[in-house]
A = this chain, B = another copy of it.
């Protein structure tokens, strides 16, 4: 299999971290340069009409896009360790937390960065800086919620590491790099402690 990816982009990082946690080796990485708009060239949009990385190319040539859908496929091929839930009940509750992290945290951070960062004007056309600034404020609301969640448990979806930790971690690392967002400085000690623990995992080093 081949993974089309972009170095340091947050969505590819989610898949790379997911693969590292499972010890999946042998997937070739094909770099896509977003700054040069390679993701909008026909050679790439033939693989994913949404013009987004990552994309997984299967051995039979079919291509699978959308970060979480790629993880669903890899979870099926490489079930251990389980990261998305055993059985439908646990899968549903982990999906709930993963979606909250994706829709209320990751997406707000992405909106804040893409609509306000001059270097990302090529990716977000047109930018709306006032919308981006308001989204950055809402990021704080979500991190406040997450801080409360992590007051009572060690991981986002419960007592073990799951895909929801990956989604939240990659979102907050993106915010750390491009919004200079530090949970401890904002008063979110539980999120900071969780983030610092996750940053020790070998999978967190893969970019």
In the assembled complex, the Cα of A25 lies from the Cα of B49 at a distance in Å of 39
Taking a contact as CB atoms closer than 8 A, the residue among B73, B93, B104, B131 that contacts A92 in the complex is: B73
- The count of residues in chain A whose C-beta lies closer than 8 Å to any C-beta of chain B is 31
In the assembled complex, the Cα of A76 lies from the Cα of B99 at a distance in Å of 18
- What does the 1/0 interface line of A63-94 toward B look like (CB < 8 Å)? 01110111011011100000000011101110
Tell me whether A38 is interfacial, beta carbon within 8 Å.
no
Residue on B nearest A115 in the bound complex, by CB: B131
Tell me whether A27 is interfacial, beta carbon within 8 Å.
no
| Across-interface contacts of A49 in B (CB, < 8 A) | 145, 148
- What does the 1/0 interface line of A118-159 toward B look like (CB < 8 Å)? 000000001010110010000000000100100000000000
| Across-interface contacts of A75 in B (CB, < 8 A) | 88
Taking a contact as CB atoms under 8 Å apart, the answer to whether B88 and A72 are in contact is yes
Tell me whether A9 is interfacial, beta carbon within 8 Å.
no
In the assembled complex, the Cα of A70 lies from the Cα of B69 at a distance in Å of 17
Taking a contact as CB atoms closer than 8 A, the residue among B76, B89, B91, B100 that contacts A50 in the complex is: B100
Q: Is the interface of A mostly helix, strand, loop or mixed?
A: helix
| A76-B87, A131-B131 known, 20 other contacts, Cβ within 8 Å | A50-B100, A50-B145, A64-B96, A65-B96, A68-B95, A69-B92, A69-B93, A69-B95, A69-B96, A72-B88, A72-B95, A73-B88, A73-B92, A76-B88, A76-B89, A76-B91, A77-B88, A126-B134, A128-B131, A128-B134
Closest Cβ–Cβ distance, residue A11 to chain B (whole Å): 11
Residue on B nearest A65 in the bound complex, by CB: B96
In the assembled complex, the Cα of A148 lies from the Cα of B45 at a distance in Å of 14
| Across-interface contacts of A104 in B (CB, < 8 A) | 50
